[in-house]
Amino acid sequence: MPIPSMPGVSRLAWRTGLLAAVDAARAQGVNSVVLFPKTPEALKTRTGEEAFNPDGLVQRAIRLLKAAHPDLEVYTDVALDPYNSDGHDGIVRDDGVILNDETVEFLCRQAVSQAEAGADCVSPSDMMDGRVGAIRGALDAAGFPHVGIMSYTAKYASAFYGPFRDALASAPRAGGGGRVIPPTKATYQQDPANWRESLREAAADEAEGADVLMVKPGLPYLDVIRLLRDSTALPIAAYHVSGEYAMLKAAAERGWLDERAAVLESLLCLKRAGADIILTYYATQAATWLNEDGFGVR
């Protein structure tokens, strides 16, 4: 199903749509994927238990992909927002406080259930404190010491996630019955004005056992990518997010930008700033262009 605010990107039907998209990616040399689920409203709850349903959409999708492509690198998202009826990454108390430690317990169960389904790397995007160490411990205890953790380390409370929240119907929503639901994620995601907090988050995630540190969004935060690249030996990932995709697409559709040149320049700049890994909705398209240009991604 097409996503109106992300022209060219669709929500994929389990099985046919997903397998076709992965086949197309692999044909161009893209061999890593991240899964994000659109959860039916009826399965959303205040605590998001669907996140660790062994037969949930993500768990089934991992098993399907690993059966079809054993050497595909499957990354997952660890956070409650696709499953949470309040639209937050953590559990919301009636007075609007996000319950950090209770959420972390649920995130551990979610990560273990994804590992059981066959995930190669789990990616906590929730920004709760202490979750990387807790997830590392839970994975090790459950027999998954080889499953990696790509932590959303410097994840900013950004307006550039709008199209993604449209796609998942996952934006924070007003509480009924006198409950207070914070309209933004600013109590757990970072302040866009603050770069020093990224250093503290990076030090904590590294000490807790993260394998990859991520900066998100990408282009507006190139300084943070460079900062983390220069302050850790861990690989740095940059997430070229939905709003960045939408801006490029909108301008290209109006003929205001040369899409191919602007996209490849954007990705190049993420790399120049220090990203070892780039997550982008343009991945298959960009690999196709690079292959046409003789760069041999395949």
Catalytic residue annotation: 155, 216
Our finding on whether 89 is near ligand PBG (CB under 6 A) is yes
Smallest distance from ligand PBG to CB 261, Å: 22
Residues 103-122 interacting with ligand PBG (rule: CB under 6 A):
none
* DSSP string over 91-134: EEPTTS-EEHHHHHHHHHHHHHHHHHHT-SEEEE-S--TTHHHH
Please identify which residue in the block is written with the tokens 């995007």: 125
Residue closer to ligand PBG, measured from CB, 136 or 185: 185
d(CA 239, CA 219): 9
The mark string for 142-171 relative to ligand PBG (x by CB under 6 A, - otherwise) is -------------------x--xx------
Calpha distance 293→158 (Å, rounded) = 34
CB of 142 to ligand PBG, least distance (A): 22
> Going residue by residue from 182 to 211, which x/- string records binding to ligand PBG, judged by CB under 6 A?
---x--------------------------
Q: How many CB atoms lie within 10 A of CB 45?
A: 15
- Residue 85, SS3 per DSSP: coil
Least distance CB 79 / ligand PBG (angstroms): 3
Q: Which is nearer to ligand PBG, 68 or 247 (CB)?
A: 247
- Our CB check for ligand PBG shows the closer of 118 and 124 to be 124
Residue 79 binds ligand PBG (CB under 6 A): yes
Contacts with ligand PBG: how many residues (CB under 6 A)?
12
Our CB check for ligand PBG shows the closer of 79 and 286 to be 79
| Beta bridge partners of residue 99, listed in sequence order | 91
Q: For residue 170, what are the contacts with CB-CB under 8 A and spacing of at least 6?
A: 81, 82, 84, 87, 164
Nearest CB to ligand PBG, comparing residues 6 and 234: 6
Q: How far is CA 227 from CA 111, 231, 245, 265, 272, in A?
A: 28, 6, 24, 21, 12
Q: Residue 245 Cβ, how far from ligand PBG at the closest point, in Å?
A: 7
CB of 206 to ligand PBG, least distance (A): 21
Report the C-alpha gap between 212 and 232 in whole angstroms.
10
Report the residue from 114, 125, 198, 284 that binds ligand PBG according to the rule CB under 6 A. 125
Kindly tell me which residue out of 113, 153, 242, 280 binds ligand PBG, with binding defined by CB under 6 A: 242
Min CB(143)–ligand PBG separation in Å: 26
Give the Å distances, CA to CA, from 197 to 147, 184, 194. Answer: 27, 19, 6
Cβ nearer to ligand PBG, comparing 3 with 252: 3
Interface with ligand PBG includes 81 (CB under 6 A)? yes
What track of x and - describes contact with ligand PBG for positions 222 through 241 (by CB under 6 A)?
-------------------x
DSSP-based three-state secondary structure for 212: strand
For the chain, how many residues are written?
Answer: 298
Contact 214, 151 (CB under 8 A): yes
* DSSP string for 213-250: EEEESSGGGHHHHHHHHTT-SS-EEEEE-HHHHHHHHH
Contact residues toward ligand PBG (CB under 6 A) are 77, 79, 81, 89, 125-126, 161, 164-165, 185, 241-242
